[in-house]
Structures are given as C-alpha cells and as structure tokens.
Structure 1
Amino acid sequence: MAKSGTAAIPASPSPASPEGEAAPRRRTKAPETRAPALMDAAERLFIEKGIAATSIDDVAAGAQVAKGTFYLYFPSKEALLGALQQRFVDNFCARLQEAVDRHRPDNHRARLKAWTETGLQTYLDNVALHDVVFHEYRPEDRRMRNDNAVITQLVALLRRGADAKVWAVADATMTAVILFNALHGVADDAVAMGQTGEADRKRRARALVDFFERALRPFEDDSAA
C-alpha cells in the first residue's frame, strides 16, 4: 500500500509485441536438465539440417536456453558432438547389456545371441543419429581395439565363454573386432538395400547369429586325447 501523500508507482508492464500481446518468456530450466536438453535439441537439428548448417544459436533456441548457457556446458560445437557420440555409445551398450542380462550368467550362447540380435536392432533403430554423430572419420583416430566400448563388451562375453570352455578363442579382442565389423556390415547393407523391415531384420539377425556360432569353434579338451 502507498504512503499518504505519495503516488503509487504502477507496476512495469510486460514487454509487448506490436499487436499488444505480452512477449513469450524463455522458460527457465533446472541446471541438471540443461545439458541433456541441449544435446536433445542438437540431435534433432543435426538430423534435420545437418551439423554444418546448425549453429550454436540454433541449438540454444531449440533447447529454450540462452546462448550463454550453451557455453556453460560445451566450449564448442565440436565438444557437443563428442558428448553426443559418447551418449550414443553409452545408450547402445546399456541396451545390449540389458538384453544379455535377461539370460543366466552361465548361458553363454544365449547371452551372445542376445547381444548379436539386439546390436543389429539397436543400430537399425538409430541409424540416422549414428550417421550424424559419427559423420567425421579421421584415420588418425583409429582406436577400435582400445576405445570402442561395444567391442570391449563383446570381448568380455567371449572371454567368459572361453573360460567356461563353451568355445575356444585364441584372441578374444581380434575375434570381437571381426564379429563387430560383421554386424556393422550387415546393418549397413540393410540400410543401403532398404531392407530394414521386421522380417528383414529377423532374417539378417539369424544369419549373423549363425555366422557368430560357426566362427566360435567348440572347446576341445586336448588332454583327453
């Protein structure tokens, strides 16, 4: 309430548009949601427009945050792309592990089959995003054996099966590289041929599982000879 003898100061009106309507305010996001929101917006825009055609301003606007907020989480668009790549791999591995864990730890063949089928399905489900976030191929970054988390996961599966004498694997890492590239090649061929429907996926998954099982020869106990 205003004091006697003084005029009350009217509240400042909200900024108005030329039509007299209040201008929309940018919604405030909780700090823990800003980085994921920026990444979600970037994924959508990169797929729609391409990385080169998408600016940091576009990403910030798509996430409904100020441009300055972008730089609190990512120093550059390249850093954002790296974060998207890591999130893609983390989600990919999590989906594979979830499928594998539906089977008993000692059922190594079922776990490998689940890994193979889910790997193909997940790749095909996310091929547009995969092609965008892994668009830059740099030969100097060929660190497949050491830095590929999907291969590392497969190596662990192969070694556990070998330790349990389900199959014999002389070099688990090299075998995992070969099997991973087989899966990647089958998925890429499905996309190139336009064969990504459910029936085609099942047919290709069966072929992959059969190849994997043939590639892993049964363990033979030489001491029994």
Structure 2
Amino acid sequence: MQHSGFSSMVITVQEVTLSFVNNNRFTAGAPDTKKQARGNESATRLLRAAETLFREKGVESTTVNDIIQLAGIAKGTFYHHFPSRAALLMALREHVIASFNAQIIDAVNAHPAHALWPRLEAWILACVEGSLKMEEVHDVVFGNDPLRWNAEGWPFMAELISLIDTGKATGIFSAEQPRITATFIFRGIIGVIDDYILSGKPAYPLAETLYDLARNLLIKK
C-alpha cells in the first residue's frame, strides 16, 4: 500500500453519519427520527457490504447487484441513498476522512491548550495509529488520487499548523514557517509508514521514533 493522497483508519461503518447521506435525502423537510434511523441503518448495511466487496474483489469488479445482494437490500433502496457506485465510494471516503480528523483532534484536545508538547505527541501518535489501522482499505478509497497534495481544507492539518504557530509565538517551538513545518511532519510520517508497511513492519517503536524526530525538528536550539 502507498499513501498517495491521504491516510486514515479502517472503516467499520458503525453509526454512519456521512455528510453525503445526511445532506442527500434524510434531512429534507421536517425531521422524522424513526425514518432517518431506518435510512441510516440501510445506508450502513450498503456501506459495510461495499467495503467488504471492494476489498475482496476490487472496485471495478464489484457491481451494484453484488452490493445489494450481500447487504440484503433492494436496488431501489440503494439508489435512494447513492446515485451510483461511484457515489457510494465517495461516501466511504468521506467517512474515512471524518474518522481520521476526529481521531486526531480528539486525541489532541485530551490535553490542555497550553500543553504544546503533549498535544504534539498526541497528534503524531493518533496520525500513526490511524494510518496503520486503515492499511487494508486505503487503496480502495484513495487508489486513484493524484500524487499532488497540500494542507488546505484538512482539519487535522489546521490543528497541527495552529499548534506549531502557537509554539512559535510563545517561544516554545523553533519553526519559522508553521505551515511548511506541519506539511513536512505529516508527509514525512506518511512516507515512513509506507516504508514500514512495505518492509514487512520491522520491530521498532514507530510512533515514538516519529515523535522524537518531530521534537528534534521543533525544539529550541
């Protein structure tokens, strides 16, 4: 697996609150919580089935009929939630991204705002953990992404940039360019994780090693 465009966590698709689904038909008009719950349940079953089949057979070899057969759901219900197989794949991607963002931000916010080093360590550990957890599904949801990438629009990157900027402003971190430094740290983590996976996961403390590297980059000399 190579992380061409992003990194995240394994999809379990429990309690799905995908923005694609919620912004499609479930939120139109007055809310019907029972109907919405049934809709979310059927969407979840379709997503679980799709995840399984995409990993086993590949996206191109999986048909809508395959998905609805495994999910035990009518074809009309599929198209009620997702206009196409591609739309369902996008919903899986949105779930991966949302889960990854939440995992990192929750980990960082478990520490006080002034505790910059613990917050940085939490960011890196959550990033590594999330990346490794999503190993099996990464190429399914991001396989066609271009290699070019920037930090714009990613909450987890905004969190790291803000953290480094605060550290710079308070004299705790040495970082003339917080955005460049944050991008360097994240893309470095992804490169090391790819090497780690493709090398057969050698036995060394991956997350701790990466945190030490980041700390050495930011520590005041």
How many aligned positions are there? Answer: 185
Indicate conservation of the 8 Å contact 1:89/1:149, yes or no.
no
Report the counterpart of residue 167 of structure 1 in structure 2. Answer: 173
> Does the alignment pair 1:215 with 2:217?
yes
**Distance of aligned partners of 1:120 and 1:74 in 2 relative to their CA distance in 1, 3 Å threshold:** same
Amino acid of the structure 1 residue aligned with 2:140:
V
Indicate conservation of the 8 Å contact 2:45/2:71, yes or no.
yes
Indicate conservation of the 8 Å contact 1:39/1:84, yes or no.
yes
Correspondence list, 1:1-225, <5 A: 30-138=38-146, 142-195=148-201, 199-200=203-204, 203-218=205-220
Measure the CA separation in 2 of the matches of 1:149 and 1:42.
27
Unpaired runs of 5+ in structure 2? 1-36
Return structure 1 stretches of 4+ with deviation > 6 angstroms.
none
Superposition deviation, residue 143 in structure 1? 4.7
Aligned-residue CA RMSD in angstroms? 2.0
Amino acid of the structure 2 residue aligned with 1:80:
L
Amino acid of the structure 1 residue aligned with 2:212:
D
Per-residue displacement from partner, 1:187-216 (whole Å, max 9, x unpaired)?
1111101116xx53xx22122111111211
Measure the CA separation in 1 of the matches of 2:53 and 2:45.
12
Measure the CA separation in 2 of the matches of 1:190 and 1:143.
21
Percent of pairs with identical residues: 32
Amino acid of the structure 2 residue aligned with 1:115:
W
Per-residue displacement from partner, 1:60-92 (whole Å, max 9, x unpaired)?
222221112111121122221111111101101
Measure the CA separation in 2 of the matches of 1:156 and 1:36.
34
Amino acid of the structure 2 residue aligned with 1:116:
I
SS in 1 for 2:136: helix
Amino acid of the structure 2 residue aligned with 1:215:
L
Amino acid of the structure 2 residue aligned with 1:158:
I
Per-residue displacement from partner, 1:106-133 (whole Å, max 9, x unpaired)?
1100111111112111211111111211
Amino acid of the structure 2 residue aligned with 1:110:
P
Per-residue displacement from partner, 1:15-54 (whole Å, max 9, x unpaired)?
xxxxxxxxxxxxxx81122222222221121111111111
Indicate conservation of the 8 Å contact 1:35/1:73, yes or no.
yes
Structure ID, larger Rg: 1
Q: TM-score, normalised by structure 1?
A: 0.75
Q: TM-score, normalised by structure 2?
A: 0.76
Report the counterpart of residue 13 of structure 1 in structure 2. Answer: none
Amino acid of the structure 2 residue aligned with 1:160:
T
Unpaired runs of 5+ in structure 1? 1-28, 220-225
Say which structure, 1 or 2, has more relative contact order (CA 8 Å, 6+ apart).
2
Indicate conservation of the 8 Å contact 2:104/2:127, yes or no.
yes
Indicate conservation of the 8 Å contact 1:145/1:151, yes or no.
yes
Measure the CA separation in 1 of the matches of 2:42 and 2:171.
48
Indicate conservation of the 8 Å contact 2:168/2:176, yes or no.
no
